[in-house]
Amino acid sequence: MLSKNKLTTTCMRKTDTVASYLVEITELIRDQIAAVRDTFEVVELVWISMNGFSPLCHNFVQVSYDQEKLLDFEQLWDVCICL
């Protein structure tokens, strides 16, 4: 079983794209977190996802953190898929 701890340590690999990484996060949550009945706030999920982005995405992550309102996960998905 997967815990929040495992999810927070999930990071992009060199072979991942942002889209494949977000798909992986989504699958981890759907398949594992739901099984142990653990829940996430949307903001927490966005933070966890962005913290796992590769260093190449550093500028995007920094700008996103500096915004007045943090993107929700659906907005993050839309922005990243359009990169």
pLDDT tens digit sequence for 9-60: 788 888 888 888 888 888 877 776 666 666 667 777 788 888 888 888 888 8
Give residue 40's pLDDT.
Answer: 67
pLDDT band for 1, please (50, 70, 90 cuts).
very low
3-state secondary structure of 8: helix
Query: Does residue 64 register a pLDDT over 80?
Result: yes
The tally of domains found in the chain comes to 1
Position 38 scores a pLDDT of 62
Domain that holds residue 12: 4-81
Per DSSP, helices labelled H in 2-41 are 4-8, 18-28
Dihedrals phi, psi of 68, to nearest 5 degrees: -60, -40
pTM of the model: 0.62
Cα separations in angstroms, 15 against 2, 55, 65, 76: 23, 13, 25, 20
